[in-house]
Amino acid sequence: MIKTLTTHGNSLALIIEKGILDILSIKQKTPLEITTDGTNIIISPVKKVSRAKAFQTALSKVNKNHKETLKRLAE
């Protein structure tokens, strides 16, 4: 399936058909995680919000505690 983006205010939106949403059990209020592998956009439903929050908290802590090391590794 090939899609194009639609203008939505000052942003762009991707319309996802109901059939795909039904297969993935995605509703209007389902939180979605948007990531990239550098080439592709990956959109995944977050099944356990508490797990995602715990991950984000841990990630923030690592970034804060190891900011300089991570910066040097990225160079």
* Residue 18, domain member (yes or no): yes
Our measurement of the distance from residue 22's CA atom to the centroid of its chain's CA atoms, rounded to an integer in Å, reads: 19
- Closest by Cα among 65, 34, 26 to 52: 34
pLDDT in tens, the chain (75 residues): 899 999 999 999 999 999 999 999 999 999 998 999 999 999 998 877 677 778 888 999 999 999 999 888 988
Domain count across the chain: 1
* Residue 64, domain member (yes or no): yes
Q: What is the pLDDT of residue 13?
A: 96
Q: What is the pLDDT of residue 56?
A: 85
Range of the domain at 28: 6-74
* Residue 56, domain member (yes or no): yes
* Residue 1, domain member (yes or no): no
* Residue 67, domain member (yes or no): yes
